[in-house]
Amino acid sequence: MKKIDNKDINPQVFKLYDDYAHNRMERREFIEKLSLYAVGGLTLTSLMSSIMPDYDAIQIAQDNPELNTETIEYTSPKGGGTIKAQLSRPKDAKGKLPGIVVVHENRGLNPHIADVGRRAAMAGFISISPDALSPLGGYPGNDDDGRTMQRKRDRNEMLEDFISAFDFLKNHPECTGNVGVVGFCFGGWISNMMAVKVPDLKAAVPFYGGQPDDEMVANIQAHLLLHFGELDTRVNAGWPDYEKALKANDKAYTAYVYPNANHGFHNDTTGRFDKEAAELAWKRTIDFFRENLN
């Protein structure tokens, strides 16, 4: 089914999806409310098709011949025990590479975030993309069940899982030891918190991520690049106080707000995807990592 152009979808539809995707609305209620916007030439089926993830939209295949991509396991002593992750790096690398930890949203390591990990590798980094659902059996193959599973885990334990991924990558024989983190939504919060908790972290890039408490900001040593969608009022509400604390503590940061972009604008598998904003934000991200990890 052909997807509806974003400009033809009522903005309230994206707000409904945001509530649903962040566990503030059950699926039944979401569908009932979504049906109210199935008017004119729009059907409920076409709306669902346009806003729900389509994992055929993958940019870098898992078996891409230019990459060495594998599933590895590492230990997270303070988190969930044994964590599975995708490890990816370019085959033609000459010497050691800087590293990037790629942190998923609130549904485990789905095909989109694994793809983002491979995009980082194609840009010349060694990347690790952990699955915080590993202690529960791993990403279950669909986002609905993934969200349900992730709610069963303590987010601070998951934070420790990603900090352990940093340690694994920093000490990997193919890594220079210079490591950054990029995360999306829940992963954006993880990225901010890793900047607080990990003194050796060189760079952090939260995409529309929740902010740390003001008193934590003094601990940040990493350079920050923060991406926000203009229409993402929920996450953006915390940014003024966070920016004030960053300035008060003389922290290095750059922030961008992308006009008319929704929460999740970088995710090219859902209807919230904004191609222009996503491509610009990703270019800025890679340039930022090249500047701060080399």
Start-end of H helices in 52-173: 111-122, 143-150, 155-170
Interval 259-289: pLDDT, tens:
999 999 999 998 889 999 999 999 999 999 9
pLDDT the model gives residue 114: 98
Q: If you search the block for the tokens 């829940």, which residue do you land on?
A: 186
DSSP state, residue 93: -
Please list the residues that pair with 97 across neighbouring strands. Answer: 175
The domains of the chain, with CATH numbers, are: 6-51 (no CATH), 67-293 (3.40.50.1820)
Q: What is the DSSP string of 33-44?
A: HHGGG--TT--H
- For residues 252 and 200, give the distance between their C-alpha atoms in angstroms, rounded to a whole number: 15
Contact 179, 98 (CB under 8 A): yes
Mean pLDDT of the chain: 93
60-70 as b/e: b if 16+ CB within 10 A: beeebeebbbe
- Token reading at 267: 């995710």
pLDDT the model gives residue 241: 98
- Mean pLDDT score, 96-101: 98
pLDDT the model gives residue 5: 63
SS3 content of the chain, % helix, strand, coil (to 5): 40, 20, 40
